[in-house]
């Protein structure tokens, strides 16, 4: 197992290298120029050229790439073109809101989806199953921003129970933090809830038709015990896989949620940096996202061995 | 026994602590007043001389001060300056700083700081460059007095020093102002009414300012950027909320107090919400729209074809699309912001005549051979995108061969600087907007400049136009200036540096049940004089 983990960790290096090259080239080849944005309407060509020189954007692309790569090797993601702050500082400022939003979303999604999927499979082809699937389809169909606006209107404007926007840090207490995350987590969580519920239902239906389940039922075991201990555990591998994929998808999904609920997280940082062509931030963030995705995949793979003893690395 | 005594002591101790806590909670706390304002952009850079971004100017006037400030009627008044004199030949300005000016670190503001700041600003800002073109010396007399020596009697010195449009001529510490213009000043130590709390700065989200306890405001009433900048709240938080709907909901829910630029779609909702007031930001309309033509390449290198373009523009169509409510917009055929002293609508019968057929006929007669017209059409801007669509529709309806290059605004900004042929990565026209204060007079309005390679993007070339603009700057009397403004209007109609699609104002909205004393300022919101009820 240890050898497998080490092997997988080493395998991330070429993946990250490819990501680095792609990100760098895509950004440089995309239209747009931060120097022109900084210089403004009244700038002359000479003004823009001077700013480009100051930012090092007048250098050939390969020179810029080598400099950037050298800095990365030393753990330096660079400095924002606009704020002049280190990218690592900017990412650190935004990490907590995004992680907390992702965690809250997963809690909402998983706690709703698994019972929903299990019930749907257990009562397959009944009204309970159909209701569960209608809920899932709705979860998929309603865009996050629309769900967000509706939730804000009901719970923040009409009922005044929860804040419209913003994120309250854990430093200010657990409840204020949770309060600021309820609406965004529900808005974002419904999509993932739908995804996980459908996979849970499908996986459970497959397991429930197996002989050992029929045997367990024949032995007179309680339904609850059959469903949760015998069926759900054996149906867990695809469910965990989809939860893992969901975490990776969340990284991109938080962008809209962070915008609608004004949560100062990594998603907003990415969008703002792309629109401003703040290259060092975009490059740094995509590297961080890629590394996170690789790690999540590794963790999913490792979890299979715990869930299914037949799987060994 | 021992245990019971111990338990009693514990209970008594607990009770005492609880009583203490409840007494503390019951005591009237001196609550901090924090004004939360949602802005049109986030404070991303701390150097107002480094970029023309308006938000950098707003940050600048929070923490820095200016030598002069304009009032509601755009008249400059001394701000950091106490006394000043102008020589009879108008070539020598002698200014003395008023008493009590201190940097946030406690050191006094001196003329060394002023001179270094003017030099830095004068090298970067268009109005500053124009002024510094006639400045032969910035002389220090003593720690508080300095002289501005001019080669010619340039008439816009005080207007330039008090301007609100970016880049605002703020005064920095000498050591900051010595930073080369293309390098950012990363410190935020000013002498203005607010101090930035840099440790609480989250770029892209929040910038926090505290009241500067050592600031000595002027005695006069605050008006525009002039008068006493008396801060009446403890802190101001400038917030960046990207989504227009969320901003509006946050204001309605009372989570923010001040919304700088509510989306025009939501203004009726805000106007009808109890406790919220929507107000105009000053006497001058905040924006005007521009269709900029590229004079370097066909077909717009031909003045007759440029003039035919006037007939494609019905300002009402543009303004209805991007603003909607006529209360907030104005049809204006002047090259100077309508509603200001030098505005002149001479020729509006010609340039305001909307007739697509006539436009097509005139273009054909002038030699337009149906070559493609490359229009840089921004796809992600709340006003420029719909305005571009209105123009594209008119051009297509007129039968022109339009090649719409649909790209994001950042890409437009980059591509419009290119002088190459349109088919090789250049362009023929693009739509943009400017602030009303940037076109208060022909000298300030740099889009009117026709200095060929030295002109703004689009590169109009007409020495006569620049001569008239220079004469305007040297004019001695208002009558002389107005006469020159009229000539410049006529010249511009002939040259067509750009075509205006009207002007409008961007109101702000605020919680009037909590805030009072808002000072309307054209171009930049200010946060002094505002009181907040907790």
The model's pLDDT over B422-449, given as tens digits with 9 standing for 90+, comes to 999 999 999 999 888 889 899 889 899 9
B530 reaches A (C-beta below 8 A): no
Q: Where are the domains of chain A?
A: 2-73, 91-307
Q: How far is B377 from chain A (nearest CA, A)?
A: 14
Inter-chain contact B246–A260, Cβ cutoff 8 Å? yes
Can you give the three-state secondary structure of chain A, one letter per residue? Answer: CHHHHHHHHHHHHHHHHHHHHHHHHHHHHCCCCHHHHHHCCCCCHHHHHHHHHHHCCCCCHHHHHHHHHHHHHCCCCCECCCCCCEHHHHHHHHHHHHHHHHHHHHHHHHHHHHHHHHHHHHCCCCHHHHHHHHHHHHHHHCCHHHHHHHHHHHHHHHCCCCCCCCCCCHHHCHHHHHHHHHHHHHHHHHHHHHHHHHHHHHHHHHHHCCHHHHHHHHCCCCHHHHHHHHHHHHCHHHHHHHHHHHHHHHHHHHHHHHHHCCCCCHHHHHHHHHHHCCHHHHHHHHHHHHHHHHHHHHHHHHHHHHHCCCCCC
Q: Please report residues of B whose CB lies closer than 8 A to that of A54.
A: 182-183
For chain B positions 279-298, those within 8 Å of chain A (CB to CB) are none
Set of chain B residues whose Cβ sits within 8 Å of the Cβ of A30: 411
To the nearest whole Å, the CA of A95 is away from the closest chain B CA by: 12
Average pLDDT, stretch B127-140?
Answer: 94
* Closest B-chain CA to A268: B204
Do the chains contact at B203 and A80, CB–CB below 8 Å?
A: yes
ipTM: 0.81
Question: Smallest CA–CA separation between A171 and chain B, in Å?
Answer: 14
> Per-residue pLDDT tens for B330-379?
999 999 999 999 999 999 999 999 999 999 999 999 999 999 999 999 98
How far CA B144 is from CA of B99, B113, B309, in Å, comes to 9, 10, 54
Neighbours of B301 (CB within 10 A): 14
* pLDDT tens digits along B202-228: 998 999 999 999 999 999 999 989 999
Instruction: Give the burial string for B436-465 (b: 16+ CB within 10 Å, else e).
Output: bbbbbbbbbbbbbbbbeeebbbbbbbbeeb
Q: What is the pLDDT of residue A313?
A: 67
Q: Which residues from B are below 8 Å from A53, CB to CB?
A: 182
Is residue B245 within 8 angstroms of chain A, CB to CB? Answer: yes
Test the B interface: residue of A31, A33, A42, A95 with most B CBs within 10 Å: A42
Residue B505 has pLDDT above 80, yes or no: yes
Residue B161 has pLDDT above 90, yes or no: yes
* pLDDT for the residue numbered A94: 93
Nearest-CB residue to B250 (from A32, A42, A164): A164
Highest mean pLDDT among A14-18, B27-31, B297-301: B297-301
**What local confidence, expressed as pLDDT, does residue B30 receive?**
62
Q: How many Cβ contacts (< 8 angstroms) between chains A and B?
A: 129
Chain B residue at shortest CA distance from A274: B410
Distance of CA B314 to the CA centre of its chain: 26
Tell me whether residues B417 and A38 touch, CB distance under 8 A. Answer: no
Least confident of B35-44, B277-286, B470-479: B277-286
Identify the residue among B36, B414, B446 best suited for mutation to test binding to A, counting A beta carbons within 10 A and taking the highest: B414
| Cβ contact B204–A31 (<8 Å) | no
Per-position pLDDT tens, chain A of length 313: 788 778 878 877 888 888 888 888 888 887 778 888 777 766 777 778 888 888 888 888 889 888 888 888 888 888 898 888 999 999 999 999 999 999 999 999 999 999 999 999 999 889 999 999 999 989 889 999 999 999 999 999 999 999 999 999 999 999 999 999 999 999 999 989 999 999 999 999 999 989 999 998 898 888 888 888 888 888 888 898 888 888 877 877 788 899 999 999 999 999 889 888 888 999 899 888 888 888 888 888 888 877 777 776 6
Q: Give pTM, 2 decimals.
A: 0.84
pLDDT for the residue A113: 94
CA–CA min distance B312, chain A (Å): 24
- Closest residue on chain A to B127 (Cα): A42
The nearest alpha carbon in chain A to B251 belongs to: A164
Q: What is the pLDDT of residue A50?
A: 83
Task: Quote the CA–CA distance of B386 and B388 in Å, as a whole number.
Answer: 5
Look at residues A272, A256, A265 and name the one whose alpha carbon lies nearest to residue A100: A265
Interface test with A, best of B47, B205, B418 (most A CBs within 10 A): B205
Contact A40 B249 (CB under 8 A): no
Q: Which of B45, B408, B415 sits opposite A82 (nearest CB)?
A: B45
Q: How far apart are CA B499 and CA B404, in angstroms?
A: 18
Name the CATH code of domain A91-307 (choices 1.10.3720.10, 3.40.50.300, 2.60.120.560, 1.10.10.410).
1.10.3720.10
Put simply, the answer to whether A271 touches B42 (Cβ < 8 Å) is no
The model's pLDDT over B230-284, given as tens digits with 9 standing for 90+, comes to 999 999 999 999 899 999 999 999 999 999 989 888 999 999 999 999 998 888 8
Q: Which of these ranges, A24-33, A68-77, B99-108, B388-397, has the smallest mean pLDDT?
A: A24-33
* pLDDT over 80 (residue B143): yes
Q: What integer pLDDT is reported at residue A297 of this predicted model?
A: 84
Quote the CA–CA distance of B409 and B380 in Å, as a whole number.
Answer: 6
Q: What is the pLDDT of residue B10?
A: 43
Task: Identify the pLDDT of residue B2.
Answer: 40
Residue written as tokens 């965990």? A240
B160–chain A Cβ distance below 8 A for any pair: no
User: Sheet holding B329-330: strands in order across?
Assistant: B329-330, B498-504, B287-293, B429-435, B373-378, B402-407
CA distance A31 to chain B (A): 5
Q: Residues of B numbered 412-431 whose beta carbons fall under 8 angstroms of chain A's beta carbons: which are they?
A: 413-417, 419
B288, two tokens: 């005007």
Which residue from A31, A38, A156 is facing B415, i.e. has the nearest CB?
A: A31
Question: Which of left, alpha, beta for B339 (phi over 0: left; psi -120 to 50: alpha)?
Answer: left
Q: Do residue A36 and residue B413 have CB atoms under 8 angstroms apart?
A: yes
């Amino acid at each position: 197992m240890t050898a497998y983990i080490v092997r997988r960790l080493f395998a991330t290096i070429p993946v990250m290298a490819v990501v680095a090259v792609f990100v760098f080239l895509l950004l440089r080849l995309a239209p747009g120029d931060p120097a022109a944005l900084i210089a403004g309407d009244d700038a002359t060509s000479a003004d823009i050229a001077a700013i480009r020189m100051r930012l090092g954007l007048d250098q050939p692309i390969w020179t810029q790439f080598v400099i950037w790569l050298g800095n990365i090797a030393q753990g330096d993601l660079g400095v924002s073109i606009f704020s002049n702050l280190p990218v690592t500082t900017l990412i650190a400022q935004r990490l907590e809101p995004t992680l907390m939003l992702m965690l809250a979303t997963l809690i909402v999604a998983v706690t709703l989806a698994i019972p929903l999927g299990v019930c749907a499979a257990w009562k397959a082809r009944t009204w309970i199953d159909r209701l569960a699937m209608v809920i899932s389809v709705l979860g998929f169909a309603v865009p996050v921003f629309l769900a967000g606006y509706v939730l804000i209107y009901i719970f923040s404007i009409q009922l005044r129970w929860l804040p419209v926007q913003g994120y309250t840090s854990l430093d200010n207490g657990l409840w204020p933090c949770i309060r600021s995350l309820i609406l965004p987590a529900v808005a974002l969580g419904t999509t993932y809830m739908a995804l996980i519920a459908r996979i849970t239902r499908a996986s459970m239906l497959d397991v429930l038709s197996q002989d050992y389940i029929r045997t367990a039922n024949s032995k007179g075991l309680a339904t609850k015990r059959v469903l949760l201990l015998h069926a759900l555990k054996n149906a867990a591998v695809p469910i965990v896989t989809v939860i893992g994929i969901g975490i990776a998808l969340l990284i991109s999904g938080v962008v809209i949620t962070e915008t609608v609920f004004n949560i100062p997280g990594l998603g907003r940082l990415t969008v703002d940096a792309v629109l401003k062509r703040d290259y060092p931030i975009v490059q740094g963030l995509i590297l961080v996202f890629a590394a996170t995705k690789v790690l999540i995949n590794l963790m999913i793979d490792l979890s299979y061995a715990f869930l299914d003893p037949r799987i060994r690395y | 026994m021992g245990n019971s005594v111990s338990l009693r002591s514990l209970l008594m101790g607990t009770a005492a602590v609880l009583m203490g806590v409840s007494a503390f909670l019951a005591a009237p706390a001196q609550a901090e007043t924090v004004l939360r304002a949602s802005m049109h952009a986030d404070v991303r850079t701390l150097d107002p001389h480094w970029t023309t971004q308006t938000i950098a100017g707003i940050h600048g006037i929070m923490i820095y001060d200016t030598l002069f400030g304009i009032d509601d009627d755009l008249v400059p008044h001394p701000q950091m300056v106490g006394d000043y004199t102008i020589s009879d030949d108008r070539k020598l300005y002698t200014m003395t700083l008023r008493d009590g000016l201190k940097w946030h670190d406690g050191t006094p503001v001196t003329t060394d700081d002023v001179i270094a700041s003017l030099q830095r600003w004068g090298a970067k800002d268009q109005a500053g460059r124009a002024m510094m073109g006639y400045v032969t010396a910035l002389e220090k007399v003593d720690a508080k007095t300095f002289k501005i020596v001019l080669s010619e009697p340039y008439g816009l010195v005080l207007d330039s020093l008090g301007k609100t449009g970016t880049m605002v001529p703020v005064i920095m510490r000498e050591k900051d102002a010595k930073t080369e213009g293309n390098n950012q000043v990363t410190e935020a130590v000013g002498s203005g009414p607010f101090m930035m709390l840099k440790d609480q700065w989250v770029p892209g989200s929040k910038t926090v300012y505290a009241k500067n306890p050592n600031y000595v405001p002027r005695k006069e009433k605050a008006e525009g950027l002039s008068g006493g900048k008396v801060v009446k709240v403890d802190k101001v938080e400038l917030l960046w909320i990207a989504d227009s709907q969320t901003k509006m909901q946050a204001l309605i829910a009372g989570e923010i107090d001040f919304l700088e630029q509510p989306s025009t779609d939501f203004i009726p909702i805000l106007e009808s919400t109890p406790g919220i007031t929507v107000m105009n930001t000053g006497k001058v309309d905040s924006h005007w729209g521009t269709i900029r033509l590229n004079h370097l390449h066909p077909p717009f290198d031909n003045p007759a074809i440029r003039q035919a373009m006037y007939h494609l523009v019905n300002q009402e169509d543009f303004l209805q699309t991007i603003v909607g409510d006529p209360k907030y917009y104005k049809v204006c055929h002047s090259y100077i912001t309508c509603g200001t002293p030098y505005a002149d609508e001479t020729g509006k019968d010609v340039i305001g005549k909307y007739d697509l057929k006539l436009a097509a006929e005139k273009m054909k007669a002038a030699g337009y051979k149906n070559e493609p017209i490359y229009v840089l059409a921004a796809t992600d801007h709340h006003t420029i995108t719909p305005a571009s669509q209105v123009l594209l529709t008119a051009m297509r309806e007129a039968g022109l061969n339009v090649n719409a290059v649909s790209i994001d605004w950042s890409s437009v900004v980059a591509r419009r600087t290119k002088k190459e042929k349109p088919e090789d990565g250049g362009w023929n026209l693009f739509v943009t907007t400017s602030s009303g204060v940037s076109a208060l007079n022909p000298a300030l309005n740099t889009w009117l400049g026709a200095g060929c390679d030295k002109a703004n993007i689009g590169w109009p070339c007409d020495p006569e136009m620049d001569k008239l603009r220079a004469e305007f700057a040297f004019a001695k009397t208002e009558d002389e200036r107005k006469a020159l403004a009229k000539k410049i209007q006529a010249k511009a109609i002939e040259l067509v540096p750009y075509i205006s699609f009207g002007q409008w104002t961007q109101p702000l909205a605020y919680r009037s049940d909590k805030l009072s004393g808002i000072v309307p300022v054209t171009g930049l919101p200010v946060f002094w004089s505002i009181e907040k009820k907790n």
